Amino acid sequence: MGAKGDETRARLIAATRVLVEAQGYFGTGLNQVLAESGAPRGSLYFHFPAGKDQLVAAALAEASHEIGELIASAGKEQLDAVAAVHWLLTVLADRMERSGYAKGCPLATVALETAGGHEELRRICAEAYDVWQRTLADLLVEEGRTPAAAEAAAGAVLAQLEGALLLARVRHSRLPLDQAARTVELLLADG
């Protein structure tokens, strides 16, 4: 595939990411993706012959990788896990505010909609959450926690973060994210 084909594929994925994060899987139509991306209809089926599920899967995989990298970079940038989670919450809150609260977790909307009926999309979301949790757990192990304690704490932190993103998006307020940051401090203080 040439540079133009790669660019068109990237535009289709980027448009899908924006739309499914804001509107969900069922609220996003292929015509919207085409309009948002500016790509011709033939390109959609050339790059994603299996249609919408394949396109959404590619968008989720890209979003998952991006957030995973963000979590990993938070650990590299900060002194400890608490500071890393604070930094991550700030980045996500800023992103949410800039979008007018249309963006939260790039997977959550699709994960909730498809968990019962689209096995491949559910699996992609589950794997992404697993990677994020392991990345957080690795930060905690580096601080001296046992792997089991780190995994349990990372699961609690991820649940706190996801819940706070949902509440912040619904309430159009950063307050749930600020509260989550304080809760994570308390949760990880005993480490």
Q: What is the pLDDT of residue 79?
A: 66
Question: Which one-letter amino acid corresponds to residue 136?
Answer: L
In a domain, 33, yes or no: no
In a domain, 6, yes or no: no
Contact present, 25 and 113 (Cβ < 8 Å): yes
Contact present, 157 and 122 (Cβ < 8 Å): no
Name residues of the chain where pLDDT drops below 70: 1, 77-79, 190-191
pTM over 0.75: yes
Q: What is the pLDDT of residue 140?
A: 92
Task: Identify the CA nearest to 153 among candidates 184, 107, 108.
Answer: 184
In a domain, 82, yes or no: yes
In a domain, 36, yes or no: no
Q: What is the pLDDT of residue 190?
A: 67
End-to-end CA separation in angstroms for the chain:
50
In a domain, 18, yes or no: no
The SS3 call for residue 143 is coil
In a domain, 129, yes or no: yes
How is residue 152 written in tokens? Answer: 């349990």
CATH number for position 136:
1.10.357.10
pLDDT (tens digit, 9 = 90+) per residue, 128-172?
Answer: 999 999 999 998 998 899 999 999 999 999 999 999 999 999 999
Domains of the chain: total: 1
Residue appearing with tokens 């896990």 = 81
In a domain, 88, yes or no: yes
Give residue 78's domain range: 54-189
In a domain, 15, yes or no: no
